Amino acid sequence: DTAVSQTPKYLVTQMGNDKSIKCEQNLGHDTMYWYKQDSKKFLKIMFSYNNKELIINETVPNRFSPKSPDKAHLNLHINSLELGDSAVYFCASSSRDGEETQYFGPGTRLLVL
């Protein structure tokens, strides 16, 4: 009965590689998000999608490309990984019911070597 799930949980890769992180929610929400948590635990929004449409893009390098095949999925593809991309990436979802509470996934810990 997982609400927001992410795969993989851990990702270790070399600089220059391309990788993807997947997110799925079974809450019936229509808005999904990607957040980045840096080494100092600071959380910052990267993207949000509503009904598969990009709504928020917070000045993220274009090496990061979100893709939403349907309302329940929001994937994050990262090209040409850099050391500074090492972080924990959280997916979240919410619904437009007047109380847009965001529910978070468990996070994907990315380490770029």
Partner 1 sequence: AQSVTQPDIHITVSEGASLELRCNYSYGATPYLFWYVQSPGQGLQLLLKYFSGDTLVQGIKGFEAEFKRSQSSFNLRKPSVHWSDAAEYFCAVGISNFGNEKLTFGTGTRLTIIP
* H/E segment holding residue 22: strand 19-25
Contact stretch for partner 1 (CB under 8 A) within 11-19, 21-29, 38-46, 76-84: 38-46
Site for partner 1 contains 39 (CB under 8 A): no
Q: What is the CA radius of gyration of the chain?
A: 13
For partner 1, the binding residue among 12, 26, 58, 111 (CB under 8 A) is 58
Q: Which residues contact 7 (CB under 8 A, 6 or more apart)?
A: 21, 22, 108
Residues that bind partner 1 (CB under 8 A): 31, 33, 35, 40-45, 48, 50-51, 55-56, 58, 90, 92, 94, 96, 98-107
